[in-house]
Structure 1
């Protein structure tokens, strides 16, 4: 049977959706195009030639900033945050699934960081570590202990910055795991126990394989939120900046399309991570399907 003509409302809604997509991805596409300006190109349209000149300049380094060191710091921190987010969210989901006294208050406390302004969280963590630094230095002065004399600060990539990022990624991971465990059928675990599997074996061979696609999603959230995080890092990073902080600083000093080339690079990294995650989810889904058929 042949479909009739589409109503006028269809075209109105399609146009609104197209405008929404353009609004959402237009800035990214603009930066992508402008990063391929010619050697004499500027920061605006029209393009003055097409080349990869600014990517070459970026590879050599932008001014006095060691961009690749900042990129490495963001990458390493993102991987650590991703790992901790997956592990902590998974076991927290298991704990909340079983239920315990005070679980409601603990859940509200864990989610509260999502509604607190990011810069306030960053300032609070920075202040906390400054108080710790003052206490340690005061102790060193009072006791004369040699191993405390060279103490500088406790703030750093894997201390204050890591904590700041986890206040952002863990609530998302926890919410995802709550949704996943809500749909998880306990009959699988009961069947494993009936076959003689221990608790650890059930977790390893039944629960984790079934939840693997969701864990990949949590990992994706953890890495991308950490890799792109700016506000929560600004007051809690210590002496060495991550890539988003360097990028923010460069917006006031770099007046060439190098800054667009850097933006294209960071977007490409995020897209690559998303692509790897989707590939992993697809592979895990097909693997489960093959096992169920076998």
Structure 2
């Protein structure tokens, strides 16, 4: 025990003397718990490039699988010295703890927040041609149609327990309508099903839905952020009709629990500066992702609030992964 205390004291002393010591001893590993090429991976690589002058080399590693749990577990079990950090997302740190019957990590105890990175609203979209035939031009029209035609609506999502599924269940509950949930193997197949007219509406990630909204193939009825999104001007939030309705996609950076506070603060400051850089904001805007920096404590509090929000939603949805 005495040896462990001495080691921790030495770690703190080193961090205080030179918070970049961990970067000087070798590259920082940034674990992305999803495959290469997606928005989380792209933004992680943008930030890795943005902090090279302050933190040194940051190597992005993709550890996909089990809904993000495999990669998150790598971070949870890494040494708490600042040399390994990772992406925490809505799924890995807010939904999966209630969705999976067995988790390899504790989302509340095994991580220390560094900074939130991104917020991307989801959007309620309908097939534009189908909406025109049914006379659905607004959220109110969709609700009215659902009430006038009970049991005739359905919606797709990227799978049981996904953000699209949970948003759909919350919408049904608050609107007092029924719509059959049809899960697909991922958000892309769900969007293709909507474009083909197999389902009536989806709650899709704005970044994924935007090209088809702009082309006129999909019609946006509402965004799921608490406030209007600057990324989709003129489209009201769901909260305007259903107060408190807010299901955004978000992700940020975490370190293993026990990482010294000076190291967390240095990481947060470096990545926060990268998030504020004009070049970063421009790259993120192309993904329809809003940069959102925070302190470590703020991100911890945010993730705790998100877990508390999603617990009853997952339970009400009946979704479970054994």
**TM-score, length-scaled by structure 2:** 0.23
Bigger RCO (CA 8 Å, 6+ sep)? 1
Q: Which protein is richer in helix relative to its size?
A: 1
**TM-score, length-scaled by structure 1:** 0.25
Q: Which protein is richer in strand relative to its size?
A: 2
